[in-house]
Structures are given as structure tokens and as C-alpha cells.
């Protein structure tokens, strides 16, 4: 189970950790934390040293109800940051977190190695053809609506079968266009209630039927801090608990704010599994 990132083959049969580097003023946990070039480089260096296989960089906050921004503003946040990180850490495998094909194109031209799209091509019809032409791995997430509307779109007959059927259709579309490396992200917290999030996690091993690697993005989300009646800032221990469950259910990539703890999760899981 390997993906090709700019000629580097990454084996996902050993779970990998993706560190979140938000270049946004309003992300739910770390929005506004990285104000300067020095902040960005310090955080990138820390995550790489702690064992992140990928850095996921985004300039558009997708938290529920986040402000919509222009493509130009998104680019002005994220493209200089990608250049900066690659200048200082040229081996870094950067994932561009965007649902806009123009941003994906520019980011990959700048050196990004993966496209991570919260809408799996639904919010921009040019996204999948662009990714196919760029020949980079494509992370497809499940959501409904937009970050502005998704909180109201949680009405499913059966959340598991509907999400799986969505992926079957999206994978077929991507394959028909010639995208080779696909990764599925169930989209915890995106157009789903807390109960629905736990239902998906409970049945996560069924996503293996899609026959593509699986990314779990659980880090500090509301399903953790609301369940524990706490805050995102206090949700690291809960995140570790859910990341461990996700690994046991077959997750290949953990997308996290806290790399060291997630890498430790993987090591403990491997010791347990061997």
C-alpha cells in the first residue's frame, strides 16, 4: 500500500502521521498561531523532528461556519508558506489542504506533493481533472454542503452506508480520470453529529472495502471535547484515545495537531500488533 509523492514511494502499510500546519487566522484550535515566517518554520521543524511523514498546509479554514475567503487570499496565505518550508526543509512532503483547483495547481507547482480536498472534487468541478494532470496523490474527504452550511446537513438514513456509497462514486470518478493514488477521509466533524462521528469510527474497518488507504482526522475535534465537556485545548488525551482506536480499525494516516503523541500512538500500536 504505497503512494508516490514526487517520486518518493511512501509505504502506508506502516501507519504514518500528518502534521497540521494551518496558515489561517481562524482555525478552530490553532487559528492565528502562526503569524510570522519564524512561527511557521519553528512549527514545521518541530513536527518533522517529531516524526511527521507529511505536513498538511492550508490557507482556508474549514471549521463549521468559517468565513469564506477569495482564491487570491487563500493563495497569498499558503503559497509563500509552502515556499518557505521547502526552502529550509527541501525533503518535506507537503500536502495542500484546499478544495480549489487553482490553489492545488499553484501549490503543486510550488512543490507540494499531495492534494487534500475536503469536498472530494464536489465544490470545484476542475479539481479532479487538475489532480489527474498533476499526477499527485489525492485525499478525498466526505462532507456535505460547505463549511458555512454543513452543520445543518446531518440528516442521514444510515450514515455509514451513505458515506461508503459516496466514496464508491468518488473513487470511480477519480479512477476514470486517471488518478492513481487515492486516500479516503471519512470527514469526522463535517456534516455529522457527535453520534454519527462515533458510528463511523466504530465501523471504520468497513472502509477497507474501498481498497484505498484511510486517513483519520480526529485531532481535538468537537466529538472529543464535547463528549468530555472540555475545550479543544484540553482534548489531547481524548485525541490519543481515538487515534489508537482508529489505528486498530485500520487507519493508515493520522492527521493531527500534535505529532509526537500520534507517533507514539503508532509505535505502541505496532508493538501491540506484532
Q: What is the pLDDT of residues 43-101, one digit of tens each?
A: 999 999 999 999 999 988 877 777 788 999 999 999 999 999 999 999 999 999 999 99
Average pLDDT rounded to a whole number, residues 192-218: 98
| Residue in 223, 238, 239 with CA at minimum distance from that of residue 188 | 223
What is the percent of the chain with per-residue pLDDT over 70, rounded to a whole number? 97
pLDDT band at 28 (very low <50, low <70, confident <90, very high): low
| C-alpha to C-alpha distances, 166 to 81, 131, 252, nearest whole angstrom | 33, 19, 20
Q: Could you say which of 221, 249, 260, 267 is catalytic?
A: 221
pLDDT in tens, 228-256: 999 999 999 999 999 999 999 999 999 99
- Provide mean pLDDT across the span 13-40: 81
Which one of the listed residues 192, 255, 260, 267 is annotated catalytic?
255
Cβ–Cβ < 8 Å for 273, 36: no
Q: Which tops the pLDDT comparison, 24 or 158?
A: 158
- Cα(251)–Cα(189) distance, rounded to whole angstroms? 17
Active site annotation includes 63: no
Please confirm, yes or no, whether 100 is among the known catalytic residues: no
- Helix locations, the chain, DSSP H: 37-49, 71-88, 101-110, 127-134, 159-177, 194-202, 222-225, 236-248, 259-273
Region 155-175: mean pLDDT is: 97
d(CA 170, CA 166): 6
What CATH number belongs to 14-268?
3.20.20.20
| pLDDT, mean over the chain | 94
pTM of whole model > 0.75? yes
Q: How far apart are CA 12 and CA 14, in angstroms?
A: 5
Amino acid at each position: 500500500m504505497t503512494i508516490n509523492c514526487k517520486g518518493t514511494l511512501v509505504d502506508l502499510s506502516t501507519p504514518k502521521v500528518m502534521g497540521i500546519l494551518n496558515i489561517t487566522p481562524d482555525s478552530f484550535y490553532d487559528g492565528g498561531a502562526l503569524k510570522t515566517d519564524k512561527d511557521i518554520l519553528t512549527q514545521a521543524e518541530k513536527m518533522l523532528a517529531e516524526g511527521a511523514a507529511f505536513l498538511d498546509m492550508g490557507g482556508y479554514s474549514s471549521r463549521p461556519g468559517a468565513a469564506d475567503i477569495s482564491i487570491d487570499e487563500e493563495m497569498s496565505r499558503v503559497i509563500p508558506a509552502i515556499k518557505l518550508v521547502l526552502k529550509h526543509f527541501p525533503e518535506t512532503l507537503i500536502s495542500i489542504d484546499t478544495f480549489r483547483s487553482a490553489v492545488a495547481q499553484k501549490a503543486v507547482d510550488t512543490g507540494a506533493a499531495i492534494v487534500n480536498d475536503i469536498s472530494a472534487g464536489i465544490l470545484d468541478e476542475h479539481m479532479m481533472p487538475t489532480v489527474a494532470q498533476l499526477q499527485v496523490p489525492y485525499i478525498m474527504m466526505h462532507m456535505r454542503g460547505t463549511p458555512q452550511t454543513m452543520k445543518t446537513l446531518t440528516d442521514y438514513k444510515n450514515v455509514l452506508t451513505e458515506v461508503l456509497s459516496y466514496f464508491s462514486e468518488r473513487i470511480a470518478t477519480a479512477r476514470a480520470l486517471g488518478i492513481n493514488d487515492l486516500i479516503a477521509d471519512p470527514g469526522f466533524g463535517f456534516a455529522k453529529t457527535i453520534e454519527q462521528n462515533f458510528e463511523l469510527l466504530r465501523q471504520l474497518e468497513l472502509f477497507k472495502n474501498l481498497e484505498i488507504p484511510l486517513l483519520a482526522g480526529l485531532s481535538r475535534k468537537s466529538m472529543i471535547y464535547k463528549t468530555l465537556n472540555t475545550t479543544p485545548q484540553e482534548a489531547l488525551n481524548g485525541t490519543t484515545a481515538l487515534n489508537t482506536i482508529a489505528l486498530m480499525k485500520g487507519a493508515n494516516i493520522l492527521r493531527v495537531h500534535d505529532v509526537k503523541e500520534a507517533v507514539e500512538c503508532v509505535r505502541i500500536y505496532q508493538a501491540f500488533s506484532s
